[in-house]
Amino acid sequence: MRPSFYDPELKYRLSIFDVETEQLRPILVTDRLIEAPNWHPDGTVIVNCEGHLFQINPNDPKLTAISIENLEDLNNDHGITPDGRTLIVSDSPFVGSSIIYTVPYSGGIPSRVTHASPSWWHGISPDGATLVYTARRNGVFNIYNCPFDGGIEKRLTDGFDHTDGPDYTADGAWIWFNGSRHGSMDLWRMRPDGTNLERMTSGASVDWFPHPSPDGKTVLYLAYEEGTEGHPRNHNVELRLLRLKDGSETCLAQIFGGQGTINVPCWEPNSSRFAFVDVLKVGLLD
């Protein structure tokens, strides 16, 4: 079933970016709306498409469905446990909802994690014990955590207009996220218990979805043009890399994308490459 915003003039491209060589390698181009790539330890890439999850082998690129029972409306907030055995998914059975589940990597019967909705998964602690996610409670978007198998959730952020996109560093010492205060959406980090809050970007761009590299040296994120509201799809955006050693930043690529480009952790486990999705206009294709 096509999404309501399907546009026959657009195609969606999955690519791999090599950070050392700064080379971009297109993997798959399709008219189906693919989003939010994860990189599995076995070398395959996981994306969502039209309410379901698919595997893609970069060396033989095609969409191979992962069968998840009873969930038909998966959104683009999904991921993989550190041991590679389990998928974490967010299902939206009706407009405005999102519920987090876990399911074996091979597919099967999901187990519900969050009982309150909406809750959008974004990160997992390196030991696999804790999930961190964005949730709207009483009309406010904040960052929460809960045990991997579910249980009492804890709110980690306060005093923001909106927060989103939490992702752990590989050593478990920090959670990075994007947060808006006084109309400025920037990158922040905090300790896993919500303490030691630090603002990490402060420029004019609208910064979303920070992803610390597995080697702990850099943070990949998505930058919208100044004045952009939310994180819309089909916009001019930049993929930027923040180097933690000296705080320097590099624009890796200027693309047409946004929502669905790098919503979730997308690094290859060895930190040399990451996967992303951008949008191509049919009339401009060769």
Q: What does the pLDDT look like over 10-69, one tens digit per residue?
A: 999 999 999 999 999 999 999 999 999 999 999 999 999 999 999 999 999 999 999 999
Which of helix, strand or coil describes residue 283?
Answer: helix
Which of helix, strand or coil describes residue 284?
Answer: helix
The pLDDT value recorded for residue 10 is 95
Distances (CA, A) of 280 to 3, 30, 76, 286: 17, 10, 19, 11
Q: Which residues contact 171 (CB under 8 A, 6 or more apart)?
A: 126, 216
- Given 2.120.10.30, 2.40.40.20, 2.60.40.420, 3.40.640.10, which CATH number is that of 10-284? 2.120.10.30
Residue with tokens 């040399």: 272
Alpha-carbon distance 180 to 246, whole Å? 24
Distances (CA, A) of 96 to 38, 69, 178: 24, 21, 21
Backbone angles phi, psi at 166, to 5 degrees: -70, 140
Which of helix, strand or coil describes residue 74?
Answer: strand
Alpha-carbon distance 228 to 272, whole Å? 30
CA dihedral 41, 47, 53, 56 (to 10 degrees): -60
The pLDDT value recorded for residue 1 is 47
DSSP string, 109-163: --EE---SSSEEEEEE-TTS-EEEEEEEETTEEEEEEEETT----EE---S-SEE
Q: How confident is the model at residue 8 (pLDDT cuts 50, 70, 90)?
A: confident
Q: How confident is the model at residue 282 (pLDDT cuts 50, 70, 90)?
A: confident
Which of helix, strand or coil describes residue 248?
Answer: coil
* pLDDT over threshold 70, residue 3: no
CB 16 within 8 A of CB 273: yes
CB 117 within 8 A of CB 97: yes
Smallest CA-to-CA distance from 272 within 214, 223, 219, 222 is with 214
CB 49 within 8 A of CB 13: no
Q: What is the rounded average pLDDT for all residues in the chain?
A: 95
Reported pTM = 0.95
CA 272, chain centre distance (Å): 18
* pLDDT over threshold 60, residue 285: no
